[in-house]
Structure 1
Amino acid sequence: MTRPCLPPLQTLTAPVFRAPAGACDSHAHVFGPFARYPLAMDRSYTPAEHPADAFIAHLDALGLTRGVLVTASASGTDNSVVTDALRQYPTRLRGIVVPSPDTTDAELDAWHAAGVRGVRINLYQVDGHAVYRNGVGIQVLEALAPRLAARGWHAQIWIHAPDLVTLGPRLKALGLPLVIDHMGRMATSRGVADPGFQALCALLAEGVAWTKISGADRLQPAGAPYEQVDPFVAALMRANPEQVVWGSDWPHINYFESAQMPDDGVLFNLLARWLPDAASRERVLVHNPARLYDFG
């Protein structure tokens, strides 16, 4: 039995700056309608229905042009809710899917035509224990890597940054661009000197990896204004500002009961503090994701 997630906030704080044309939310999920896109039977959480048109409304509310949908663990390896959304909004959306060990070339080609540009693997553990059920591991990625490279795709890695100390060399050996979710899911209490976070910065500096300055609400659970996240973003931007994108993580799954749901307007407005000049915001919101996700 899984717990039902809280719904996202319906009233958002207004943006304090106008997003540049072509701005992208580089991390979000869609779910349902469940009659057509059922969730995996074995899952860690149960979201409400958040179909593609609801995500488009989310983009419009923040003044964003583009978005990247990621198959969530609650969907298992059924990527149809994502790929159908990409076909519905081909100029606005790109996608990241979760492959199965027996994924065929025909499936990869069909996904590419729909707008998929990468695969996601789940290496996220805390104290050696997996946090989410479902997802695929590094062995599947290693087997698929040559075929992904041939299509110009990248590997999106859901990992706790401290594990990059040991897994970083194995991931680099894939020969694929790496995208590390949510700043390596660093707890702010660990500090920017944490060896795992420094490994993430080094991967960016080498040009091997990208990261998403997303999930501030996960890094500092006490809530807004998320000022303890600022040094982490600053360190990543110093490492390589050309390898950083931003995402909201809408619709904020895995929040339960009396938890404080994040406000997407507040999360978006963090960019005014993290990237105070318009040129930096345009780089992170427009140019970097256009290059990473092949928006053209």
Structure 2
Amino acid sequence: MSADRVIPTCKAPDPDTRTPSWRPPPGACDAHCHIFGPDAVFPYAEDRAYTPPDAPYEALVALHAKLGIERAVIVHASCHGSDMRVTLDGIARSGGRMRGVAVVDPGVTDAGLAALHAGGIRGVRFNFVRHLGGMPDMAFFERVLAQVEPLGWHVVLHLDAQDVVELAPRIARIRIPFVIDHMGRVKAKGGLDQPAFAALIELMRNPLAWVKICGMERVSSAGAPFHDAVPFATKLAELAPDRVLWGTDWPHPNISGDMPNDGDLVNLLALAVPDEATRRRVLVDNPNRLYWAD
């Protein structure tokens, strides 16, 4: 890493989590959250695109206790590179209540993936977003998808809105379950008819396609309380209620606008998915199938 490269620092999450106005059902899962550090124990990668605040396992557990969340999927973050120790440590400490999604490098072997599987990893994530480096090497991408297929894993795609349109034909050819992060990071000001959301809706007609109706603070164009993002989540939950996940995205890395309060995000889920039975599918049944089937 160049000595004169400036690495941006992320804002810390809101420390005063509000208690949601409703209680998630037993077994509810936060299917998209992160553990960062602490740096003294799990150092951040030297070539990282950002430096997060330390957000250790203990803080995540305390957050979930406040929110009424019993299980979680730790999405390994690019600031830790492909060093999976922080995520595997969290899973191991959870007593079976957590699973994980990996970030891997081009040197990953079948044996290495099998070891990750034994450690509770059930998917692999690729970043396409510009601020995290943009398009991965597609030959590497295709090779890893072939490697994880025998393990029954899925692939998580972190895309910018324009990527959903440009990459839709390639995504449609994926042979394993694929999960679109943060509703494809569409922008609410573009409306439900914008090309990126239309492309996402079309992808969701594929039985292998899943989507996370989280990141409303990233989709919103109006800022807090992010209500302009709600119709997008509602539409997706209505279209594919058995292939929708939800997560907090705590501790909300790289937020440039209003920092959300995680209790308010739980309330936003109830606003977007008012039907209690559908919410149970999103929070309990769907993550069960994708992360705890074995």
TM-score (norm 1): 0.92
Matched, 1:97 2:97: no
Distance 1:250 1:218 in 2: 13
Deviates more, 1:161-170 or 1:31-40: 161-170
SS at match of 1:36: coil
SS at match of 2:155: strand
Distance 1:103 1:151 in 2: 14
What is residue 19 of structure 1 aligned with on the other side?
24
Matches within 5 A, 1:125-164: 130-133=130-133, 136-164=136-164
Gaps of 5+ in 1: 125-129
Per-residue displacement from partner, 1:21-71 (whole Å, max 9, x unpaired)?
110001111111212211111222211211112111111110101011111
Cα RMSD after superposing both structures: 1.7
SS at match of 1:67: strand
Per-residue displacement from partner, 1:247-275 (whole Å, max 9, x unpaired)?
1000011136xx53210001110122111
What is residue 207 of structure 1 aligned with on the other side?
207
Deviates more, 1:219-228 or 1:139-148: 219-228
Distance 2:238 2:215 in 1: 19
What is residue 3 of structure 2 aligned with on the other side?
none
Tell me how far 1:172 sits from its aligned partner.
Answer: 2.8
What is residue 127 of structure 2 aligned with on the other side?
122
* Residue of 72, 84, 89 corresponding to 2:89: 84
Per-residue displacement from partner, 1:187-220 (whole Å, max 9, x unpaired)?
1111111222112112222212101011111111
Letter of the 1:288 partner, please give it.
N
Distance 2:27 2:147 in 1: 30
Tell me how far 1:18 sits from its aligned partner.
Answer: 0.9
Matches within 5 A, 1:187-266: 187-255=187-255, 259-266=257-264
Number of residue equivalences: 289
Structure 1 outlier segments of 4+, above 4 Å: 134-137
Deviates more, 1:55-64 or 1:155-164: 155-164
* Residue of 6, 9, 12 corresponding to 2:14: 9
Tell me how far 1:135 sits from its aligned partner.
Answer: 8.7
Gaps of 5+ in 2: 1-5
Matches within 5 A, 1:106-117: 106-117=111-122
SS at match of 1:205: coil
What is residue 36 of structure 2 aligned with on the other side?
31
What is residue 127 of structure 1 aligned with on the other side?
none
SS at match of 1:131: helix
Distance 1:103 1:191 in 2: 40
Matches within 5 A, 1:22-61: 22-61=27-66
8 Å contact kept, 1:180–1:212? yes
8 Å contact kept, 1:202–1:239? no
Q: Percent identity?
A: 42
8 Å contact kept, 1:122–1:137? no
Letter of the 1:132 partner, please give it.
L
Letter of the 2:28 partner, please give it.
A
Per-residue displacement from partner, 1:139-162 (whole Å, max 9, x unpaired)?
322012222110000010001233
Matched, 1:280 2:278: yes
SS at match of 1:35: coil
